[in-house]
Amino acid sequence: MAASTTTATNGRPAPLTDGQYFLPLALITSLFFLWAFGVNLNDVLIPHLKKAFRLTDFQSSFIQVAFFGGYFLAALPAGRMMERIGYKKGILSGLMLCAAGALLIIPAATVRVYGFFLFALFVMACGQSFLEVAANPYVTLLGPAESSERRLNLAQSFNAVGAVVTPIVGAAFILTLTHYSPAQLSAMSAEQFQAYQIVEADTVKTPYLVIGGLFLAVAALIYFSKLPDITEREKQAGSTTKELRGILNYGHLLKGVLAQFFYVGAQVGVASFVIRFAQHIATGTPEKVAANYLKLHLLAFMIGRFAGSAIMRRIPAPRLLSLFAAGALLCGFLAVITSGVMPLWAIVIIGFFHSIMFPTIFALSLKNLGSYTKLGSSLLVMSIIGGAIVPAIMGRISDLSSIQRAFFVPFICYAYVLYFALRGYKPHRAATWNEASTVTIEAK
């Protein structure tokens, strides 16, 4: 069955999807909700393990380095595997890796070794990289090309729902109201600190056991479902090296990869340190109370996703992206230069402006790529490595100066996203006839 070619007519927006693609779209959208748990629980895990292992802000940022490093390293192999075994088997492989990583957290908590935690998160992230490489381009193809940005924003909205649920679950099961200063932790005897570590480590076991079980349950559901698979009849580009040379002709994709790098870095950096930021602004705030600002930040993120999907019916995606990038710039500026409650609410509201950035940048960057769509998707997922680099830079600045000054780094990131929304997204070259893909949907 050929992919839909429906276009907007009589000035009306193109439909979100065609009827035959509704169930596949719904099933894939459930994956967006599920992988939010893996990504966003890190924001709760960072202050928790920082306290349990007596880490600096820079050392605690290694959680994001390990996680998004897994995204980066697995993206190209995931794209290649999809070409050989298809999207359905690729998604199943990703779900199994995610489950394995989540379940590895349990022995990591038992032996209380920070490096083991990092390895478990790395494995989980490799699985999520498989899911992202498959699901994002899949959603853009399940309906008219004209509504691809809106469709991906809607699917990503359910990722935002998961992002809101995650810190609520994480704060309830992992964080405590007991707050020890670094001096108090240092004053503990070896036996007292070991007992404290055991209690702190045990709190992470149940959430990750449940998450691992959810990944396995969804894998079973997809295995027994007739999930359509996308295949492409395309000109064979040959080696990865040859494909990479060819894709360099698409300047808007390369600018999109950089925009995605900066956006993900800013988004992860802000969310990773919301709790620390709140404790810095309101000195003495227990982490469980400070986590309320993270919940509000992610609630604003979810509202923005759904609102953005609706507004995009009337406002072109690039224009809306530029407005949201400008809003994030303003909030980032206020977070750095103001005091009192203003910086706290600026960080909360910035979640709203983050909302549409990832899916909109992703969809705009894949425009007109033809047979290079899979490789383009892999490169965009690789750009998620920004989520490892930017938080580490922020953590280092925080250790040397203050966490509030570290929030100047996301401000720089938003400036480039604004450039991409205004000019960088425009395709400079369309795929040639020989490069164009014929996309088909087949039931597997």
Residue 351 Cα distances to 169, 254, 271, 331, 345, angstroms: 19, 25, 9, 10, 10
Residue 126 confidence (pLDDT): 96
Residue 299 confidence (pLDDT): 92
Instruction: Name the 3-class secondary structure at 410.
Output: helix
- Average pLDDT score, the chain: 83
- Type and span of the H or E element at 231: strand 228-233
pLDDT digits (tens, 9 = 90+) for 238-253: 555 666 677 777 888 9
The pair of three-digit structure tokens given for residue 11, joined into one six-digit string: 């000035």
The pair of three-digit structure tokens given for residue 420, joined into one six-digit string: 């991409």
What is the rounded average pLDDT of the residues 109-126?
94
Instruction: Name the 3-class secondary structure at 443.
Output: strand
Q: If you count them, how many residues does the chain have? A: 444
Asked if residue 188 has pLDDT above 70, the reply is yes
Q: Give the whole-angstrom CA distance, residue 399 versus residue 181.
A: 16
What is the rounded average pLDDT of the residues 330-357?
95
Residue 404 confidence (pLDDT): 94
Which has the higher per-residue pLDDT, 9 or 30? Answer: 30
Residue 143 confidence (pLDDT): 74
Q: DSSP alpha helices (H): ranges in 142-189? A: 148-173, 182-187
Residue 229 confidence (pLDDT): 61
Q: Give the whole-angstrom CA distance, residue 41 versus residue 171.
A: 9
Residue 168 confidence (pLDDT): 81
Residue 236 confidence (pLDDT): 47
Q: What is 176-219 written as a DSSP string? A: -S----HHHHHHS-HHHHHHHHHHHHHTTHHHHHHHHHHHHHHH
Residue 440 pairs in a beta bridge with: 2, 231
Comparing 145-149, 290-294, 398-402, the range with the smallest average pLDDT is 145-149
CB-based burial label for 181 (10 Å; 0-12, 13-18, 19+):
exposed
Instruction: Return the axis-axis angle of helices 251-272 and 62-85, rounded to nearest 10°.
Output: 140
Q: Give the whole-angstrom CA distance, residue 200 versus residue 197.
A: 5
Domain ranges of the chain: 19-443
Comparing 309-318, 372-381, 389-398, the range with the smallest average pLDDT is 372-381
Asked if residue 376 has pLDDT above 90, the reply is no
Of 435, 419, 439, 437, residue with least CA distance to 245: 435
Residue 116 confidence (pLDDT): 95
Q: How many CB atoms lie within 10 A of CB 434?
A: 9
Which has the higher per-residue pLDDT, 72 or 169? Answer: 72
Instruction: Return the axis-axis angle of helices 287-311 and 317-337, rounded to nearest 10°.
Output: 160
3-state secondary structure 293-315: HHHHHHHHHHHHHHHHHHHCCCC
Return the C-alpha torsion angle 304, 308, 311, 314, nearest 10: 160
Asked if residue 233 has pLDDT above 50, the reply is no
Residue 266 confidence (pLDDT): 96
CATH of 19-443, one of 1.20.1250.20, 3.40.50.261, 2.60.34.10, 1.10.10.10: 1.20.1250.20
pLDDT above 70 covers a percentage of the chain that reads 85
Residue 330 confidence (pLDDT): 97
Which range has the top average pLDDT, 34-38, 296-300, 422-426?
A: 296-300
pLDDT above 90 covers a percentage of the chain that reads 38
The pair of three-digit structure tokens given for residue 60, joined into one six-digit string: 């605690």
Q: Give the whole-angstrom CA distance, residue 244 versus residue 228.
A: 28
What is the rounded average pLDDT of the residues 288-311?
89
Q: Give the whole-angstrom CA distance, residue 349 versus residue 202.
A: 33
Q: Give the whole-angstrom CA distance, residue 233 versus residue 395.
A: 46
The pair of three-digit structure tokens given for residue 47, joined into one six-digit string: 């202050």
pTM: 0.73
The pair of three-digit structure tokens given for residue 411, joined into one six-digit string: 């401000």
Question: What is the band of 185 on the pLDDT scale with cuts at 50, 70, 90?
Answer: low
Longest Cα–Cα distance in the chain = 75
